Amino acid sequence: MNVTHLCNTTKIYVVNGQFPGPQIDVTDGDTVVVHVVNRLDHGLTIHWHGVRQMRSAWADGAGFVTECPIPPGGDHTYRFNVTGQVGTLWWHAHVTCLRATINGAFVIRPKDGRYPFPAPAKDVPIIIGEWWELDLIELDRRMADGNFDDNPLSATINGKLGDLSNCSGRPEESFVLDVEPGQSYLLRIVNTALFSEYYFKVAGHTFTVVGADGNYLTPYRTDMVVLAPGEAIDVLMFADAPPALYHMVALANQPPEPDPQIPLFVSRGLVRYPGVRADNNGLPVAAPLMPDQHNTMPSFYFHNNLTGLAHPARHRVPMHVDERFFITLGLGSICRDGSTKCKRRRSNETIVVATMNNVSFHHPTTTSLLQTYYDGTGKGVYTEDFPDQPPRPYNYTDRDYIPPGPLEEVLEPTFKATKLRRFKYNTSVEIVFQSTALLQSDSNPMHLHGYDFFVLAQGIGNFDPKRDTKKFNYHNPQLRNTVQVPRTGWAVVRFVTDNPGVWYLHCHFEFHIVMGMATAFIVENGPTPETSLPPPPPDNVQVEPEVSNRRATLEQISYCNCCVVFARGLELYIHLKALKVRRWGFQREHVNVPTVSEPPHSRGIKLDGIVFVIAAIH
């Protein structure tokens, strides 16, 4: 789809002509069926970020980990259950950098419709992202070759750049949230950005944080929300300010020099009360006071203040540990000519890579790890010796290692390999993630597919097991799928391997993924069929709709933005054979569909990209 921003028209990759993509609404206990048609000239997968995928690893959507990409012109059906999760997750492309525009919210509502907090008048997705003018596939190619000089042009809020960006003096459009005095709003905030963590504030208003990553949190009052890439935070905002216009701001942070610097990314929107003129009744529009972009400590304080809302079935921290890992997160380099001897210090003879315990992950490109594991053909594809600690200890957070020089040069050499780790079913695993200052001092949002983990503690500096284990929260820790490991700090997580399959673990900064800050965990089957991974589903299982007693083509379905039939209630009704389709109590088994001669809601627009067909089944 062609979109014009900042005086330039850019072709972007989208789902159903929407950026961000359509929101998917389901209820706890639903079976979700999504049919994806790939109209791009590049393969892709769709990952359901944060969905536990219990015994459905085949549907996780991690490219070359749980499936090979859907080829150009191909289609694929994802089918999975959503159980025991309530709140905001999201979905996104999981091949190359396409998730910058191929993404959307995935909302799971409680079965009984009740929340452990006051019911909001309305819930609103707030999708924080980035506007890239460079083709995203080209961006991925450049980063894989060690070129990290490209940057987005702006931050976005719900796809809008905001009035701080302009073209020849004409401000860009801002996202506007209309509110009614005295009402509360559940903001479902997701950071889909490739590059940056964001501070989010609304002038004159405060938030009550009530959930994160599909799990409830102990209510926490704050005037600022901080989200790393991959995180989803639910907050209540009360419209209790004097009627006026108020700016909302999303501001990217970054480490200060000597870390490599990138431009300032910011987007600004509006909260608008009724009866207020466009000029704010002649008064200046209030703007929130934001932290300095180089001050990353507010991120640490925000994340460290969150605690979980006790859940009898799920908030049971394993008190024993079967396997412990201490994983350092940093950068290194490999020689471009494939040798082990070359000039280091970010020279042209090297490619800078990202590492976990000094191993840079080599992503497969011809097969999926899950398929090879399931078939027993993993020899030569991967090994199962991912290290449980770094090869040598050093002062991991010494900032003298940031600039290239003789100190870091000794630690810089590394290698590429597909090293995994295997666990028996029901193993208790503890991981200490340690951010380092080797060639950079970024934070690291670490995301584990197929699992939620307890965040026991976070801290600044080097982790000290004698001192810092005393800080572990066993009473009400957060239950998350993504943990923000602080800049030059650490985080400790613990989980039980109760979900068989192959599960990707990676940093959610896209440049770190491309550079190799990743691995995968193999979890063996349990002792019963109910604790084992079923065989892979047949390829290209399709949900077959009938439209007015005739077979509908995928083109006809896509014209009607079928993806959002149940998520947004468009006037298109589909009868799924032998299935009942429900959206918040709406149920229809036999319906008629008018003949579609051209794309409604999209006349004059060519829909390039992905087509979804979505159903929630109960």
Q: What is the mean pLDDT of residues 130-148?
A: 91
Q: What is the mean pLDDT of residues 452-466?
A: 97
Q: Does residue 394 or residue 549 have the better pLDDT?
A: 394
Q: Given a cut of 80, is residue 599 above it in pLDDT?
A: no
Domain boundary assignment for the chain: 1-115+575-581+608-617, 117-307, 323-524
Of all residues in the chain, what percent carry a pLDDT higher than 70?
86
Q: Given a cut of 90, is residue 24 above it in pLDDT?
A: yes
Provide the pLDDT for residue 613: 56
Distance CA 412, CA 340 (A): 11
Q: Given a cut of 50, is residue 597 above it in pLDDT?
A: no
Domains 117-307 and 323-524 share a fold: yes
First vs last C-alpha separation in the chain: 35
- DSSP secondary structure string, 296-325? -HHHHHHHHT--BPP-TTT----SS-SEEE
Confidence band (pLDDT; 50, 70, 90) for 614?
low
Distance CA 477, CA 273 (A): 37
Distance CA 457, CA 474 (A): 10
Q: Given a cut of 90, is residue 350 above it in pLDDT?
A: yes
Provide the pLDDT for residue 312: 60
Q: What is the mean pLDDT of residues 192-199?
A: 97
Provide the pLDDT for residue 588: 28
- How far from the centroid of its chain's Cα atoms is residue 27's Cα? 20
- DSSP secondary structure string, 393-451? ---TT-GGGSSSSHHHHTT-B-EEE-B-EEE-TT-EEEEEEEE--SS----EEEEETT-
Q: What is the mean pLDDT of residues 263-281?
A: 96
Q: What is the mean pLDDT of residues 379-401?
A: 96
Q: What is the mean pLDDT of residues 357-376?
A: 95
Contact (CB, 8 A) for 121 and 180 = yes
Q: What is the mean pLDDT of residues 354-366?
A: 96
Fold classification of 1-115+575-581+608-617 is: Immunoglobulin-like (2.60.40)
Q: What is the mean pLDDT of residues 305-326?
A: 87
Provide the pLDDT for residue 579: 30
Superfamily of domain 117-307: Cupredoxins -  blue copper proteins (2.60.40.420)
Provide the pLDDT for residue 610: 57
Provide the pLDDT for residue 592: 32
Q: What is the mean pLDDT of residues 570-593?
A: 28
Of all residues in the chain, what percent carry a pLDDT higher than 90?
81
What Cα–Cα distance (Å) separates residue 13 from each residue in 49, 93, 97, 590, 608? Answer: 19, 10, 11, 35, 7
Q: Does residue 133 or residue 598 have the better pLDDT?
A: 133
Beta bridge partners of residue 4, listed in sequence order: 9
Please identify which residue in the block is written with the tokens 């200052």: 437
Q: What is the mean pLDDT of residues 566-582?
A: 27
Q: Given a cut of 80, is residue 123 above it in pLDDT?
A: yes
Nearest to 211 by CA among 22, 448, 414, 480: 480
Ranges 225-234, 440-449, 607-616: which has the least confidence = 607-616
Backbone angles phi, psi at 483, to 5 degrees: -115, 130
The greatest distance separating any two alpha carbons of the chain, rounded to the nearest whole angstrom, comes to: 74
Select the CATH number that applies to the domain covering 323-524 from these four: 2.60.40.420, 3.90.1150.60, 3.20.20.140, 1.10.238.10.
2.60.40.420
Beta bridge partners of residue 430, listed in sequence order: 324, 494
Contact (CB, 8 A) for 338 and 501 = no
Q: Given a cut of 50, is residue 559 above it in pLDDT?
A: no
Q: Given a cut of 50, is residue 409 above it in pLDDT?
A: yes
Distance CA 104, CA 609 (A): 14
Confidence band (pLDDT; 50, 70, 90) for 45?
very high
Q: What is the mean pLDDT of residues 556-564?
A: 27
Provide the pLDDT for residue 144: 85
Q: Given a cut of 80, is residue 311 above it in pLDDT?
A: no
Distance CA 125, CA 106 (A): 10
Ranges 209-218, 384-393, 596-605: which has the least confidence = 596-605
Confidence band (pLDDT; 50, 70, 90) for 146?
confident
* Mean per-residue pLDDT of the chain: 87
Provide the pLDDT for residue 145: 84
Confidence band (pLDDT; 50, 70, 90) for 310?
confident
Q: What is the mean pLDDT of residues 4-8?
A: 89
DSSP 8-state symbol, 164: T
- How far from the centroid of its chain's Cα atoms is residue 193's Cα? 8
